[in-house]
Structure 1
Amino acid sequence: MTAVALTPSGPFSLAAGVRFLEDFTPASYRGAADDVLRLAFPADDGHSTVAVAVRQEETAEGEAGSVRAEFTTYPDPDTPADPRSAGTGAGAVRAQLARVLSLDVDGSGFPGLAAADPVVAGLMADYPGLRPVCFHSPYEAAAWAIIGHRIRMTQAAAIKARIAERHGRRVRIEGRTLYAFPTPPALRAITRAPGLTEVKIERLHALAEAADAGELDAARLRSMPVDDALAALRDLPGIGPFSAELILIRGAGHPDVFPRHEPRLHAAMADAYGLGAAASGDIRQLAGIADRWQPYRSWIALLLRARAAHISGRGTSAIPVGAPAGAAPKLIGPPVSG
């Protein structure tokens, strides 16, 4: 087992992230009394699986303690690693985990947004230290979007869990058994799965091929202009505007994108800023308000969703990441193994 350390820049609470996942039904995450976050996921190299236990040290109130992660990497036995890959060493796993926990972003300027915006100040007070807990990768975010298309999210979560149990790697981490989602080669080998149509399986195969080709590399997507990245993602079979935003924001971990295809977020914004219900459809006005949140537009959007879900009494299991106007709400979030 290898250990790496992550030092948060700005406010960060691992406990807040764990609570978010525990309340989020699609995440299927079951916490433990020891405050350890246990994860299992396909590594960014596409040919191995990582099992990791994450802890945050306790410090004086108001300070973000260092985050320590202990992990084991399991190469796919039948799939040779791509020589072009950055590998699965400590540095690569550390970078991926930092992205999942939004610790790869300098958050030191985040508290400063509160001074100019009372709504943001209230959100930060309500959810201290909460940063987006992202999908393990754009690949897994895209797979979730395809699996969950036009079905209930509880149903999608059950299908994803079955796929992980039957086709992913089983790992043991800190006394718990977890099942990671299949790596792209393993996903491409699936010919049938209960609950998935032939069309969805074909789309998952295309997704696995795109991941192998590097089209879903998180660093690549985040380095592109946002509109170009979203357009590239929409070229994937089965990925529309809603899902493209999901993949970029919650898969690649882009910290500064305002979701333009999320009516429930827009309604929460209009309510929070006292604009009236009609303003929820004025994307230009809402985007103008969100411009004040730069460079953390994705982060503030998450806090708005959290508050809206709390007010409605639905819990974070009902926090949507976006849905096309007029469509049934899609309640999508980070499906963490556990």
Structure 2
Amino acid sequence: MIGDRPDPAPATDDGGDDGPTGIAGDDPVPRSVTTTLDVVGPWSLATSRRFWEGFAPQRLRAARSDSTPEVPARRDPAPDGLDSPATEDSLTTTFLAERTWQSLQAEVTQEGRLARIALHSGDGSPVADPHGAARQVARFLSLDVDAAAWPEIGERDPVIGDLQRRMPGLRPCGFHSPYEAAAWAVLSQRIRITQAAALRDRLIRELGSDRAFPSPQALLEAELDLPGRKAEYLRAVARAALDGVLDGEALRAVAPAAAIAAVGRILGIGPFSAELVVLRGANAPDALPTHEARLAREIAERYGPEASLAEISEAWRPLRTWAAVHLRAGREERTGEISGGSSGR
């Protein structure tokens, strides 16, 4: 259970190249595995993928002038580890699995309300924790959320209803993990986001594996050449990840306020960053960001200068995070604030 929300429909394992999960000859750990998830509520993988490609830090790789030779140029902007699929009904991403810190590739396809998640490692090694990795993919794509109430929220709030029609089936895609969200929060502090994306790309290139973000242990062992106190803060994030403070399932298992408070005790993580880690790293579906200046400006423009976020958001329960993300996505579509690489929040 997540808060008082029902669990999503159970996933099934379809096996992989080595047969069903846990049955691979004499090897109990599969080298690939496919999981099928029944997604409850509206969902369009194509819409969600376009959203993910359009937001920092994902789209900034394509905009950087010092693009890395290891990653071929793409026709569309794509996030780190996101490979452009043949159709908009599939998404392939390389990510760092929580707990095992293994670099994995996931290919996600949509068949109606079903999501099919195929996992394998880039080096051909067994997938150490296929069930945990599949849950992580479902979490960062918001496929694990029961969104049956989402259309009703649009009926209660015409502004959100308009955004739902403009972005049909959008499920907010977050960072691969709270650990990566916290690392991004540190890297992006007090510099332009294009500069932060360049730092992140360099870390991936120099310390990562198979285009995934570096593991916490890799960050702790490396000599980090970063501006200001970013190296110190990034090591604090790495230690917190190894201690389980940034575990996605653990953060989702408690109330968002408690999760934000726990994350906020990490050195270098302030109130804005703590909310980012929980709302977009753990992808908590029903929480309210209170330190986003861009969201506050959008609320004033869409609802009036006297509008109160706390009052307006009551109509968004039980998916307040989703509504806030839709408002931010609509603002970006209209203003291009983030795609222009501007600083600020």
Please give the range of the TM-score, normalised by the shorter of the 2 chains. 0.7 to 0.9
The residue that corresponds to 1:246 in the other structure is 276
- Report the Cα distance in structure 2 between the residues aligned to 1:17 and 1:317, rounded to whole angstroms: 17
The residue that corresponds to 1:323 in the other structure is none
- Report the Cα distance in structure 2 between the residues aligned to 1:16 and 1:145, rounded to whole angstroms: 25
Is the alpha carbon distance of 1:21 and 1:47 closer, same or farther for their aligned partners in structure 2, counting shifts above 3 Å?
closer
Match of 1:66 among 114, 128, 136: 114
Q: CA deviation at 1:222?
A: 2.2
Provide the aligned C-alpha RMSD in A: 2.3
- Report the Cα distance in structure 2 between the residues aligned to 1:216 and 1:119, rounded to whole angstroms: 34
The residue that corresponds to 2:291 in the other structure is 261
Q: CA deviation at 1:32?
A: 4.2
Matched residue SS, 1:317:
coil
- Report the Cα distance in structure 2 between the residues aligned to 1:218 and 1:24, rounded to whole angstroms: 21
1:254–1:298 CA contact under 8 A, matched in 2: yes
Matching of residues 13-92 of structure 1 within 5 Å: 13-27=44-58, 28=61, 30=78, 31-35=84-88, 36-57=90-111, 64-73=112-121, 88-92=128-132
Q: CA deviation at 1:316?
A: 6.1
* 1:216 equivalenced with 2:246 (yes/no): yes
* 1:185 equivalenced with 2:233 (yes/no): no
Q: CA deviation at 1:200?
A: 1.1
- Report the Cα distance in structure 1 between the residues aligned to 2:242 and 2:160, rounded to whole angstroms: 40
Q: CA deviation at 1:311?
A: 1.9
1:257–1:298 CA contact under 8 A, matched in 2: yes
- Report the Cα distance in structure 1 between the residues aligned to 2:274 and 2:158, rounded to whole angstroms: 31
The residue that corresponds to 2:322 in the other structure is 299
- Report the Cα distance in structure 1 between the residues aligned to 2:142 and 2:338, rounded to whole angstroms: 18
2:40–2:113 CA contact under 8 A, matched in 1: no
TM-score, structure 2 as length reference: 0.78
Matching of residues 1-338 of structure 1 within 5 Å: 1-27=32-58, 28=61, 30=78, 31-35=84-88, 36-57=90-111, 64-73=112-121, 88-170=128-210, 179-193=211-225, 196-197=226-227, 199-273=229-303, 275-276=304-305, 279=306, 285-312=308-335, 314=336, 317=339, 329-330=344-345
2:251–2:259 CA contact under 8 A, matched in 1: yes
- Report the Cα distance in structure 1 between the residues aligned to 2:41 and 2:149, rounded to whole angstroms: 7
Matched residue SS, 2:137:
helix
Q: CA deviation at 1:318?
A: 6.0
Deviations 1:281-303 (A, max 9, x none): xxxx2111102101100000111
2:185–2:269 CA contact under 8 A, matched in 1: yes
- Report the Cα distance in structure 2 between the residues aligned to 1:225 and 1:286, rounded to whole angstroms: 20
Q: Which has the higher helix share?
A: 1
Matched residue SS, 2:339:
helix
Q: What percentage of residue pairs aligned between the two structures are identical?
A: 39
1:45–1:88 CA contact under 8 A, matched in 2: no
Of the structure 1 ranges 105-114 and 224-233, higher mean CA displacement relative to structure 2 is found in: 224-233
1:306–1:319 CA contact under 8 A, matched in 2: no
**Which structure ranks higher in relative contact order (CA pairs < 8 Å, sequence separation ≥ 6)?**
1
2:216–2:239 CA contact under 8 A, matched in 1: yes
1:24–1:318 CA contact under 8 A, matched in 2: no
- Report the Cα distance in structure 2 between the residues aligned to 1:317 and 1:302, rounded to whole angstroms: 16
Q: CA deviation at 1:192?
A: 2.3
Q: Which runs of 5+ in 1 are unaligned?
A: 58-63, 78-86, 171-178, 321-327, 331-338
Q: Which runs of 4+ in 1 moved over 4 A?
A: none
Q: CA deviation at 1:33?
A: 4.1
- Report the Cα distance in structure 2 between the residues aligned to 1:225 and 1:101, rounded to whole angstroms: 20
Q: CA deviation at 1:25?
A: 4.6
